[in-house]
Amino acid sequence: MKFTKMHGIGNDYVYVNCFKEEVKDPENLSIKLSNRHTGIGSDGLILIKPSTKADFFMDMYNADGSRGKMCGNGIRCVGKYVYDHKMTDKTSLSIETLSGIKYLELNVGEDGKVILVKVNMGEPILKTKDIPVVFDKERVINEPFTVDGINYNLTAVSMGNPHAIVYIDDVDGLEIEKTGPKFEFDSRFPERVNTEFVKVLDRKNIQMRVWERGSGETMACGTGACAVATASILNGYVDNDVTIHLLGGDLTISWEGEGNDLYMKGNAVTVFEGDYPV
Ligand SMILES: N[C@H](CCC[C@H](N)C(=O)O)C(=O)O
């Protein structure tokens, strides 16, 4: 099976062009090829498929084989893949996901290949029932929330996938391997959750690390960065245009507040192509 290894600020996936390849058991394939010792090594698997509703369909799986409904870093790489492989000549694209259709603007470099992608991520989702999170209010904005005996202030946001955002003083020193799973498997998140640990640096800059549902700590999470920007703007900590600093690099997010779509801009990188024995 031919594949392409790509990443968005270090959030790396194996991409398979399902216009040419047939993938029968994506859940188990994602587990196998994500393994960084016995497989290709990645945060998961992304299948590029035909769509009847949009230009293409992005079908995404985490490293544990669970199916993700949206992937911000991944969708930017899908845009790069289809343009660079001449599957389209459009620089404005629509991509169907399990969380609806997203719209991309591709920036093409001097070599004729995509280097940056801007994504309309749609409007952030805030209702507890839609995230989902079990909480006795309609929204979770800066609410007290105790996990593993530690008191946090939680903001919960969905970008088509669930995010728990907590603000802490020492992001670098966080033992995320210990704390991340406590959030991910907390029963108040019936579909599990991606968790962002955040420090606001100033009104235009935020530092974050992420423990991803189904993949553990990743170098970056696009939907997570969008959720963090949403939470920070809602809480009045930052302005409407903000740079999110993640382990793998930066993303720029713009959101004019409720009733508006949120925009994310960042890179998309092709690492190598190969053939995987299936
Ligand atoms: N782990 C996420 C999917 C990948 C999201 C992340 N890699 C991104 O760039 O948005 C979930 O299960 O909802």
Give residue 31's pLDDT.
Answer: 98
Q: Which of 18, 71, 77, 226 is catalytic?
A: 71
Strand pairing category for 150-158 and 162-167:
antiparallel
- Residue-range domain boundaries for the chain: 2-122+266-275, 128-260
Q: How far is CA 277 from CA 3, 21, 40, 220, 273, in A?
A: 11, 12, 11, 28, 14
**Measured from the CB, is residue 223 less than 6 Å from ligand 1?**
yes
204/273 Cα distance (integer angstroms) = 37
Give residue 218's pLDDT.
Answer: 98
Fold: same for 2-122+266-275 and 128-260: yes
- Is 71 marked active-site? yes
Q: List the binding residues.
A: 11, 62, 72-73, 161, 194, 212-213, 222-223
Give residue 217's pLDDT.
Answer: 98
**Measured from the CB, is residue 232 less than 6 Å from ligand 1?**
no
**Measured from the CB, is residue 222 less than 6 Å from ligand 1?**
yes
The complex's ipTM works out to 0.96
Give residue 65's pLDDT.
Answer: 98
Quickly name the fold that domain 128-260 has: Diaminopimelate Epimerase; Chain A, domain 1 (3.10.310)
Q: How far is the CA of 241 from the centre of ligand 1 (A)?
A: 22
180/186 Cα distance (integer angstroms) = 10
- Pocket perturbation via mutation, ligand 1, pick of 7, 34, 62, 131 by most ligand atoms within 8 A of CB: 62
Query: In the CATH scheme, what is the code of domain 2-122+266-275?
Result: 3.10.310.10
The stretches in the chain having pLDDT less than 70 are: none
Phi first, then psi: what are they for 82, rounded to 5°? -70, -30
- Pocket perturbation via mutation, ligand 1, pick of 119, 184, 194 by most ligand atoms within 8 A of CB: 194
CA dihedral 71, 94, 133, 164 (to 10 degrees): 40
**Measured from the CB, is residue 71 less than 6 Å from ligand 1?**
yes
Give residue 207's pLDDT.
Answer: 98
Give residue 89's pLDDT.
Answer: 97
Q: Which long-range contacts link 48-53 to residues 24+ away (Cβ below 8 Å)?
A: 48/15, 48/16, 48/17, 48/18, 48/19, 48/78, 48/81, 48/82, 49/18, 49/19, 50/18, 50/19, 51/95, 51/96, 53/94, 53/96, 53/101
pTM over 0.90: yes
**Measured from the CB, is residue 128 less than 6 Å from ligand 1?**
no
Structure-block tokens of residue 166: 């907590």
